[in-house]
Structure 1
Amino acid sequence: AQGALDDDDTVLSPKGKKNKKEEMEVVSMAEKETEVEGVAVERVREDRRPAGRVRIADTQQPGMVSLRMDKVSISFGNHDVLEDATWEVRTGDRVGLVGANGCGKSTMMKILNGDIPPDYGDVIKSSVDLRMAFLRQEFSDDLDPSRSLREELLSVFTEANQVLEKLKATEQRLEETQDDPAAMQEAIEALGELQLDADRLEAYSTDAKVDKIMDQMGFSILDDAQSSVSSFSGGWKMRIGLSKILLQEPNILLLDEPTNHLDLESVEWLENFLNDLKIPIVIVSHDREFLDNVCTKIVDTMGGITYSYDA
């Protein structure tokens, strides 16, 4: 379902036809140079808009999740990458970002993920605790080839693992302070605080969560759990990367070129898996057939301007 658009949002039909207003906007946005005494020079724009920001939606339908770019602009040096980019992903949406190389697709993903701020415009979240997970193109750089599959997946739970290690160390300290009442009391109090942290982080259920995601991804718990990450093919490493971000229990999933270097079988598996997911997804991909099979909405970026239409 496509989110509501502002009056000044630009929209392309699936056939790519623009109305007159849009054509005028494209011309005005693309006009980057002027001439002074016959010499082309870059136009300097005096822009008094407020700086870009992240804010929470004023109202939100109960049970709905959304993430919106509202008139977002960003430049790198003298190059305007995005100009008033406006589109939304919400519950039920799987949005595909398309456009020529360098048009700003990956930049929009980084803005949504909070990696870089926009120069102007708003990123609007449905709630303050909205959780996003980002599978980057270079996801394999985040995999440790020396770990087993289980170790790699458990590494997601950094804070929970640290609490469990502290609990173990504090229990050992308690055993060693039997003859020191003051030290014993200190250890007991520390254990109580750590136990509360462990409960809050669900630290004792991490193994069960890993078993569940391995099963969902098609791994064999008996045969694959102790296999080294380096032993898996590219398609299976993609499943490992996807498993790691899903273990973060996100509300919205961001995928940057997830089909890169995948064979046909892996691409088909990914299509089926994403179509079965119940959370909103934003995907950057040059594989248009993949996007057609997965996405409910397309956002096309041309000349820094975004155009949205149903897939």
Structure 2
Amino acid sequence: MAFCKDSKSVFVGTNDGFLYLWKPEQPFTECQSVLFPPDAVFCDALQYSVNEELLAGFNRQMLVPIANIHDHALHWDELAIVRSIDPLGKNVFIASQRQPYLSKIDSEGVFTSLEVDTPPDALCHSPDGKWLFVGKGHRLQLISTNDGSLAKELIVDKQVQILQQVASATDSSGRPVFYFNQRNSIGRWAPLSDQYSSVVSSGGSLAVTNDGETLVELGADRLRIFRARDLELLAENEVSSHVDLTFEQVQVIGADRLIARTMNALIVFDLYDGNELFSFPVKDLGPFGVSKDGALMSMAVSQGQSGRIYEVVLTKFK
């Protein structure tokens, strides 16, 4: 689920193979739709580039970049896929965790395959779209998104395994910085500055504020807020008041709020002190999207384990 540029329309992907463009002032049944193959399960798998020029729908066996609402589909035989979408909307990189290939699909559907030495565990674009972080076990690589050439490489502790969750930002000089979960720590790598550091992790999901100043880790029982440039811990709060704290979607809103989704609630946190501001208890909650100004939120309610969306709700933040 993703908002359009004007914050007045919402893309909603469902597991019946449809992508809907919904204007909330109209009934959902009257919205525009685009039909994709029956196995194109979009539920919980829509992602916009930051500039909203490219919308991509994902499931484990298909990638569908959508440029100007024209569809291009790529089928995969592999079940485990890692991905990253260019913030500027120019391309999407995907890779199998089982085969040593890295694939690039641009906004017009042109496919390019790059051979790599080992299957990637994690991919992440830099904010300017020029670089791609590739994590492979204890090896970190920075490659050019233009031609796929290797720019930097770093070998960290061989006991370290890079997990899939990666966040990117820029430093004060505009150079890319990547944050990622390791086995027992959070890593920070500034490849063009030759800097690497880490702190002990609680195993949570990572997010970076839009200004790149603050790093947030949201785990099963605590929220931790770090100063991004040196990983100094600024605040830490327990979040154990909810029964189900398996966070399935985490997103920074503006400069001061974090919204997180569980199966049964949406929870909003203050990024200054880590306190919980409010929550929405919703049974069988599906994916959500937030408008660029942070004032509106759309969310889907699914039908139990089937994942079929039966209600789409638009609400205002107070």
**Relative to total residues, which structure has the larger strand share, 1 or 2?**
2
Higher relative contact order (CA 8 A, sep 6+): 1
Normalising by structure 1, we get a TM-score of 0.30
Higher helix share: 1
> Larger radius of gyration, structure 1 or 2?
1
